[in-house]
Amino acid sequence: MNKQTLFKSLQQQGVTRRGFMKYCTALTSLMALPPSMIPIVANALETAKRPSVIWLSFQECTGCTESLTRSHSPTVEGLIFDHISLDYHHTLQAASGDAAEHAREQAMKDNYGKYLVVVDGSIPLADPGYSTIAGISNLDMLNETVAGAAAVIAVGTCSAYGGLPHAAPNPTGAVSVSSLITDKPVINVPGCPPIPTVISGVLAHYLTFGSIPELDELGRPKVFYGQSIHDRCYRRPFYDKGLFAETFDDEGAKKGWCLYRLGCKGPMTYNACATLKWNQQTSWPVESGHGCLGCSEPNFWDAGSFYKALSIPDGDYAKAAGYAVAAGVALGAAAGFVNQKTKSAAVSQHSTVSVDDFAVNKDKK
Amino acid sequence: MEMFSNANDFLLWVRGDAFNIALTILIIGVFIRVMEIFLLGRKNDFSEPRGTEWGPGLKNIVTRSVADNGTFKRAPFVVVVGYIWHICFFIVLLFFVPHIELINAMLGIKWPGLASQFVDAATVVAMVALLAMLWHRLTHPVLKFLSTYEDYLVWFVTFLPLLTGYIAFHRMIAPYPMALGLHILSVEILMVVFPFTKLMHAITLFIARWYTGAMMGRKGIES
């Protein structure tokens, strides 16, 4: 690890003490810690050494890296990211070929047991040939790199849950990192892409506490994925009042009403978009008039139409209903036929009682 | 749950295959029950009609919704709580916007919904009414004697969607896809049980009331 501390590195890039403290305060509140923790967070970040990070890109679109690096102006989040010793990243590193692979091997050797591995993209298991780097299959590179890692951060829905490559019919046999790595802590930071603040926030948490944050059952840090979009949505009051946009350009849409009817997946999606927003807190999908796609949830590509309300069945129910009506009519007719048969059989077998029948009994007496 | 790797998979299953299965059983069951009733038929009535059938039949469907005085005097609790339950149930079923979306997607008809807090309150009242009904059934000696396994099953599968819906709306089970999935699954259980129990009254009451009204109409009796 590099000797320079985070605060020194930030100072060199023009971040004031005040700016740094503001960031620490925001981060502390973001991580749902009490205000008394602010100095501790600040102190930890001030003195944190540069951790070595190896970033592996597998079956991905580089959107996650873009999310983190394409800020219009440098942010503290971005600078935190700059601060880490990013020893290997296909897209960002200058080196290529053998030199690049050598950098990865060197970083692993120098920081064995201490470095962080960030993975974006899914891993193909159907045929390793679908995605290779320097002739090494994604699976081999992952296993080899993770062997000496302190923890693995799966950035983006592809590496966290398989994402787009995993979508039906999943031709490459794509799987998530957590389905392969079971002997190291794996932190899922899903999103397509994830919010930059969340990516840097997870790194900051690791720098502050030296441990991984508390995770939910899908491996996501609860501090960022603990609440649903729906619960924190500024359009929520319209949902409660029963005011909904029904098309993307009707009166309701213009008035900013709830987008549930247009297929918003906010109720089932756990992410921080509604509070952290995007592009330096400018806006976020729902604010710009489009429902949430649920991109931080597993299998969101296969979870039905983006424009179908959550309460609507997803299967081909019209076909099922059609067959059911046909079968129902046939079985109903059959049941009616059997019932009539039973009825007419009962009528024909009905024996009448005559006076003579009683006479027999009389004789017996 | 071994079958599903996470709550989202469970939700997808209840919204997909499970719904199709439940819908198929519901439709087939209802068709069998209704066609059995109609195909059984009635003997020809050769008497000269003194009045019409259709008008009095349709009128009877509406007028029988009001309990007659004798019934009310004998069982005021059942009548009042029964009304409260049915009204609240229909508010929840027909005026909660996600439900309207479901109906719109399947039948292509829609209407304005109610504020969700109002629907929420109706859910609570409906649940309390159902619990009161159960208490009444368990404490009334005659009713308890007459009650069968089916009565308790019907109560349970009716109560479950309300309870799971309330839990899902208030997000009392995390994650939400699990809560919503359980709610939809409970409705699917109701759909499967519906045609084979006395829940069928929701459909057969129209046939029964119409028939009573029509018979009386034919005989010239004012209903």
Mean pLDDT across the stretch A62-80?
Answer: 68
What is the model's pLDDT at position A201?
80
Judged by CB atoms closer than 8 Å, whether chains meet at A299 and B175 is answered as no
Number of domains in chain A: 3
Cβ atoms of residues A121 and A162 within 8 Å: no
Q: Which of B8, B99, B112 sits opposite A299 (nearest CB)?
A: B8
Mean pLDDT across the stretch B6-19?
Answer: 90
Top residue of A215, A317, A341 to mutate, by most chain B CBs within 10 Å, is A317
Which of A186, A207, A225 represents a domain boundary (last residue)?
A225
Q: Which of A270, A324, A333 sits opposite B24 (nearest CB)?
A: A324
Binding-face residues of B in 124-183 toward A, CB within 8 A: 171, 175-177, 180
What is the model's pLDDT at position A364?
53
The CA distance from B21 to the nearest CA of chain A, in Å, is 8
Mean pLDDT across the stretch A105-124?
Answer: 90
Residues A18 and A62 grouped into a single domain:
yes
Three-state SS for chain A is CEEEEHHHHHHHCCCCHHHHHHHHHHHHHHCCCCHHHHHHHHHHHHHCEECEEEEEECECCCHHHHHHHCCCCCCHHHHHHHHCEEEEECCCCCCCHHHHHHHHHHHHHHCCCCEEEEEECEEECCCHHHCEECCEEHHHHHHHHHCCEEEEEEECHHHHHCHHHHCCCCCCCEECCCCCCCCCCEEEECCCCCCHHHHHHHHHHHHHHCCCCCECCCCCEHHHHCCEHHHHCCCHHHHHHCCECCCCCCHHHHCCCECHHHCCCHHHCECCHHHHCECCCCECCCCCCCCCCCCCCCCHHHCCCCCCCCCCCCCCHHHHHHHHHHHHHHHHHHHHHHHHHHHHHHHHCCCCCCHHHHHHHHHHC
What is the model's pLDDT at position A206?
82
Q: Among all residues of chain A, which has the CA nearest to that of B12?
A: A303
Q: Dump pLDDT digits (tens) for A321-357.
A: 999 999 999 999 999 999 989 988 998 988 888 777 7
Residue A92 has pLDDT above 80, yes or no: no
Most confident of A28-32, A55-59, A201-205, B146-150: B146-150
What is the model's pLDDT at position A78?
61
The CA distance from B34 to the nearest CA of chain A, in Å, is 8
Q: Which of A244, A314, A324 sits opposite B12 (nearest CB)?
A: A314
The CATH class, in words, for B7-218 is mainly alpha
Tell me the pLDDT band of A47, cut-offs 50, 70 and 90: confident
Alpha-carbon distance B213 to B198, whole Å? 22
Q: Dump pLDDT digits (tens) for A240-284.
A: 888 899 999 999 999 999 999 999 999 999 999 998 888 878 899
What is the model's pLDDT at position A75?
58
The CA distance from B162 to the nearest CA of chain A, in Å, is 15
Tell me the pLDDT band of B69, cut-offs 50, 70 and 90: confident
**Which residues of chain B neighbour A323 with C-beta distances below 8 Å?**
24
Judged by CB atoms closer than 8 Å, whether chains meet at B175 and A302 is answered as no
Which of A302, A327, A348 represents a domain boundary (last residue)?
A302
Judged by CB atoms closer than 8 Å, whether chains meet at B40 and A320 is answered as no
Judged by CB atoms closer than 8 Å, whether chains meet at B115 and A325 is answered as no
Binding-face residues of B in 15-74 toward A, CB within 8 A: 15-17, 19-20, 23-36, 38-41
A195 has which bridge partners?
none
The pTM assigned to this predicted structure is 0.83
Residues A96 and A217 grouped into a single domain:
yes
Alpha-carbon distance A179 to A160, whole Å? 9
Q: Tell me if chain A has a CB within 8 Å of the CB of B8.
A: yes
Does residue A311 sit within a domain?
A: no
Q: Among all residues of chain B, which has the CA nearest to that of A341?
A: B40
Kindly report the average pLDDT of chain A as a whole number.
86
Q: Tell me if chain B has a CB within 8 Å of the CB of A329.
A: yes
Q: Any idea what the Cα angle at residue A190 is, between residues A187 and A193, rounded to 5°?
A: 135
Judged by CB atoms closer than 8 Å, whether chains meet at B99 and A311 is answered as yes
State which residues form the domain around A37: 2-225
Residues A282 and A321 grouped into a single domain:
no
Q: CA nearest B92: which of B131, B119, B124, B130?
A: B119
Does residue A206 sit within a domain?
A: yes
Q: Dump pLDDT digits (tens) for B115-171.
A: 999 999 999 999 999 999 999 999 999 999 999 999 999 999 999 999 999 999 999
What is the model's pLDDT at position A1?
44
Top residue of B13, B21, B35, B119 to mutate, by most chain A CBs within 10 Å, is B35
Q: Tell me if chain B has a CB within 8 Å of the CB of A240.
A: yes
Does residue A77 sit within a domain?
A: yes
Judged by CB atoms closer than 8 Å, whether chains meet at B15 and A315 is answered as yes
Q: Tell me if chain A has a CB within 8 Å of the CB of B1.
A: no
| CATH number, position A294 | 4.10.480.10
Mean pLDDT across the stretch A227-244?
Answer: 91
Tell me the pLDDT band of A8, cut-offs 50, 70 and 90: confident
Which of A249, A268, A302 represents a domain boundary (last residue)?
A302
Asked which of A37-41, A296-300, A314-318, B199-203 is least confident by mean pLDDT, the reply is: A37-41
Cβ atoms of residues A178 and A4 within 8 Å: no
Global ipTM: 0.84
Residues A245 and A280 grouped into a single domain:
yes
The CA distance from A222 to the nearest CA of chain B, in Å, is 12
Residues whose CB is less than 8 angstroms from the CB of residue A147 and which lie 6 or more positions away in sequence, other chains included: none
Does residue A127 sit within a domain?
A: yes
| CATH number, position A121 | 3.40.50.700
Q: Among all residues of chain A, which has the CA nearest to that of B103?
A: A312
Q: Which of A298, A312, A324 sits opposite B6 (nearest CB)?
A: A298
Q: Tell me if chain B has a CB within 8 Å of the CB of A210.
A: no
- Percent of chain A residues topping a pLDDT of 90: 45
Kindly report the average pLDDT of chain B as a whole number.
92
**Which residues of chain A neighbour B19 with C-beta distances below 8 Å?**
313-315, 317
Q: Dump pLDDT digits (tens) for A189-201.
A: 999 999 887 887 8
Cβ atoms of residues B16 and A313 within 8 Å: yes
Residues whose CB is less than 8 angstroms from the CB of residue B177 and which lie 6 or more positions away in sequence, other chains included: A268, A297, B6, B7, B8, B10, B11
Q: Any idea what the Cα angle at residue A201 is, between residues A292 and A105, rounded to 5°?
A: 110
Top residue of B5, B9, B17, B24 to mutate, by most chain A CBs within 10 Å, is B24
Residue A13 has pLDDT above 80, yes or no: no
